[in-house]
Amino acid sequence: MSTTNPSAGDRPESGGHIGKTIRIEGVITGHADLHVDGEVHGQIELGENSVTIGQNGHAKADVIAKNVSVQGRLEGKVKAADRIAIAKTGSLEGEVTTSRIAVEDGAIFRGSINLEKGGKVESGGPVNGNG
């Protein structure tokens, strides 16, 4: 059996990780998935990719992504083209717009939900008037 190592250009992007001891303020954009275990204050725009707020993560940010998973704390406006999932360890506070939402028993949600069928999330400009 023969195996080859793909060149860097052939490898799919695995995404980014913000560790527990990292705090970022500002706008995060990109074309890969993002896992947040630290703190983010500002805006996260990943369009067709996924954002996960890990159990240790805290984001006070507006988020635009294809999928958003909340296992830690997220405060802000959230737009997910496909799905938002709030785990039993998660807390989401704010206005959410998505096609599907899942809230596990024990999860905390405070805010409003706008359900839109099969919508494509458009990025560009602030999600809210803050900042």
Q: How far is residue 84 from each of residues 3, 124, 130, measured CA to CA in Å?
A: 38, 20, 22
Task: Check: pTM over 0.85? Answer yes or no.
Answer: no
Q: pLDDT digit string (tens) for 63-75? A: 999 999 999 999 9
CA–CA separation, 16 vs 3, rounded Å?
27
- Annotated domain spans of the chain: 16-106
Which residue's structure tokens are 């195996």? Answer: 3
Q: 16: which DSSP letter? A: E
Q: What are the E-state strand segments in 30-90?
A: 34-36, 39-45, 50-53, 58-70, 73-75, 78-86
Q: pLDDT digit string (tens) for 24-79? A: 999 999 999 999 999 999 999 999 999 999 999 999 999 999 999 999 999 999 99
Contact 34, 18 (CB under 8 A): yes
Query: 92: phi > 0 → left, psi -120 to 50 → alpha, else beta; which?
Result: beta
Residues in a beta bridge with 71: none
The token pair at 19 is: 């560790």
